[in-house]
Structure 1
Amino acid sequence: MQAAMDITAKYCHKEMEAYGSCVTSNPSTWQQTCNDLKMKVAQCTSSHPVIQKIRQDCSKEFVMFEACLRENQDKPTSCSPQVVRFLGCAEAVDLRGVDTNPVPQPT
């Protein structure tokens, strides 16, 4: 998971910063208010092989986490168990054979 976080930070830092700031600034409406920024992070990360592999292997856990966030928009910290399950899954993903250093595509 650390590799995926490093890759996301490396290639999508600007998008992640903007999304994080929006979520922090809008604690009760972030799900709607920050959706465009969330989509920008998703678009940025979706092209990286490590992140694609984690999304594929841990899709069930991620869907459960997102559902929890939708149901608890005013108290996202209540989704900690779902975060723990997703992170545990992501840590266990076998990244052998996955190109962790692809050449970034120009935008």
Structure 2
Amino acid sequence: MDGTLDEVTKHCGLQLRLYTDCIDTNKDTWQQTCLQQRQALTRCSETHVTLLKLVKEQCADVIKSYDQCVQTHSTNPEECVNALKALYDCTQRVAQDQPPKSVPPADS
């Protein structure tokens, strides 16, 4: 997953910076205040990062369940631990199904 974050940073660095800056300056209201920046980061990531595209496609139902749980239990997110674990497990399965990136041979 580190490689995925590297890809997001490489292709969507501006969107990532704008989103994190918004969160930093709106600590109490960031979930509402930074929605536009979050959506821009999501769109960029889904467009440029293959693994995230695949996760969104293959884990759509699990993502939906987790999102619904978080909305339902916004004041008690601990209720969503099982949904979060299911989402984690799904993303791990998708990531494991991906061929490893080729590593250039070391110079001898």
Q: Which runs of 5+ in 2 are unaligned?
A: 102-108
Q: What stretches of structure 1 move > 4 A for 4+ residues in a row?
A: 72-81
Secondary structure of 1:52's counterpart equals helix
Quote how far apart the aligned CAs of 1:75 are: 6.4
TM-score normalised by structure 2 residue count: 0.65
Sequence identity, in percent?
A: 21
Give matches, 1:1-107, under 5 Å: 1-47=1-47, 48-73=49-74, 79-93=80-94, 94-96=97-99
Relative contact order, CA 8 A, sep 6+: which one is greater?
1
Moved more, 4-13 or 22-31: 22-31
Provide the C-alpha distance between the structure 1 equivalents of 2:52 and 2:23, rounded to a whole number of angstroms: 22
CA RMSD, 1 decimal: 3.1
TM-score normalised by structure 1 residue count: 0.65
Provide the C-alpha distance between the structure 2 equivalents of 1:74 and 1:29, rounded to a whole number of angstroms: 14
How many pairs align?
99
